[in-house]
């Protein structure tokens, strides 16, 4: 009987020790992620937590805001934003180039209100004529986002930046596409992933020809990461075949190996 009690006590002690080791190994990672990756991270985050025991505290924002926060001294374990933002953080010494991993990419698409005639965007010239004929357009504010800066550059390349100025409606808050859905703007041009899933609009196609630009969403393990191994586990998880399936369903293209 005494031997059994001793064995039972030893087993209980081992269980508590094992649980303690797991608790000690579990980490809480602070992640700063772009809004475009929000559907992906909100789907994969809980799956990563269940698979590893680690916890994620994710904050979402636009590219400019996240870069500004990190440059201002805010710490994070992993940052997931477009590549140009990651490059700035690497240049500033906030992350090492060897700890940067491509996750997905998205291009730009054009959307109109659901039920509206499908505008011709089959070529750069056709797109130009469509924009000039439109009463109003909307895209992200170029002063705040890389996506908006690209659309502004497209208008400039087409030679119609001045003509479109008075027709442009920038969103004060919320998704760009909502302005088209509620009739405040006729045409929206934005990242494809930011357009899909918005009710009341119809995506008529991608930006034509060399006007298209693919933004790569990239993860960087930050130089001051509290747990480098757990951070690496998260980045690796976001590159798994399971993650690739989720990335596709959310309207992005998974990064190639």
Tens digits of per-residue pLDDT, 85-115? 999 999 999 999 999 999 999 999 999 999 9
- pLDDT category at 32 given cuts 50, 70, 90 is very high
Summarised one tens digit per residue, pLDDT across range 36-47 is 899 999 999 999
* Per-residue model confidence (pLDDT) at position 218: 96
Q: Which residues of 39-52 are buried (b: 16+ CB within 10 A; e: fewer)?
A: bbbeebbeebbeeb
pLDDT mean across residues, the chain: 89
- Total domains in the fold of the chain: 2
* Per-residue model confidence (pLDDT) at position 161: 97
- pLDDT category at 257 given cuts 50, 70, 90 is low
Mean pLDDT check: name the lowest of 2-6, 168-172, 202-206.
Answer: 2-6
Mean pLDDT check: name the lowest of 7-11, 33-37, 76-80.
Answer: 7-11
Separation between Cα atoms, residue 43 and residue 213, nearest integer Å: 26
Give the chain's radius of gyration (CA, Å).
Answer: 23
* Per-residue model confidence (pLDDT) at position 5: 41
Summarised one tens digit per residue, pLDDT across range 114-149 is 999 989 999 999 999 999 999 999 999 998 887 899
Domain shared by 226 and 138, yes or no: no
Domain shared by 101 and 147, yes or no: no
Domain shared by 229 and 136, yes or no: no
The domain in which residue 134 lies consists of: 108-211
Once rounded to an integer, what is the mean pLDDT over residues 53-70? 94
Q: What angle do CA 63, 71, 42 make, to 5 degrees?
A: 40
Query: CATH number for the domain including 10?
Result: 3.40.190.10
pTM for this one?
0.72
Domain shared by 120 and 203, yes or no: yes
Domain shared by 84 and 139, yes or no: no
Q: Of 194, 191, 217, nearest to 206 (Cα)?
A: 191
Domain shared by 40 and 74, yes or no: yes
Domain shared by 250 and 193, yes or no: no
Once rounded to an integer, what is the mean pLDDT over residues 9-19? 39
Q: What angle do CA 190, 113, 120 make, to 5 degrees?
A: 70
Domain shared by 66 and 193, yes or no: no
Sign of CA dihedral 48, 50, 52, 54: positive
Domain shared by 128 and 199, yes or no: yes
Domain shared by 61 and 116, yes or no: no
Domain shared by 27 and 58, yes or no: yes
Domain shared by 158 and 120, yes or no: yes
Please say if the pLDDT value at position 202 is more than 80.
yes
């Amino acid at each position: 009987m005494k031997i059994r009690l001793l064995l039972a006590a030893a087993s209980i002690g081992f269980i508590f020790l094992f649980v303690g080791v797991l608790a000690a190994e579990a980490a809480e990672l602070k992640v700063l992620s772009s809004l475009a990756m929000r559907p992906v991270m909100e789907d994969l985050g809980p799956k990563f937590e269940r698979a590893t025991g680690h916890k994620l505290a994710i904050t979402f924002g636009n590219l400019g805001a996240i870069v500004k926060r990190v440059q201002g001294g805010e710490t994070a374990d992993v940052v997931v934003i477009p590549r140009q933002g990651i490059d700035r953080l690497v240049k500033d010494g906030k992350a090492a180039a060897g700890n940067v991993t491509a996750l997905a990419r998205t291009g730009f698409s054009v959307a109109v209100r659901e039920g509206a005639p499908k505008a011709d965007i089959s070529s750069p010239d056709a797109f130009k004529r469509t924009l000039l004929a439109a009463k109003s357009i909307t895209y992200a504010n170029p002063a705040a986002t890389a996506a908006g800066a690209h659309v502004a550059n497209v208008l400039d390349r087409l030679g119609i930046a001045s003509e479109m100025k008075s027709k442009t409606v920038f969103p004060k808050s919320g998704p760009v596409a909502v302005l088209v859905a509620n009739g405040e703007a006729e045409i929206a041009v934005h990242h494809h992933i930011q357009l899909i899933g918005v009710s009341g609009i119809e995506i008529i196609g991608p930006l034509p020809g060399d006007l298209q630009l693919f933004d790569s969403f990239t993860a960087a393990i930050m130089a001051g990461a509290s747990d480098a191994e757990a951070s690496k586990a998260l980045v690796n998880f976001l590159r798994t075949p399971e993650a690739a399936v989720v990335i596709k369903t959310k309207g992005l293209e998974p990064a190639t190996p």
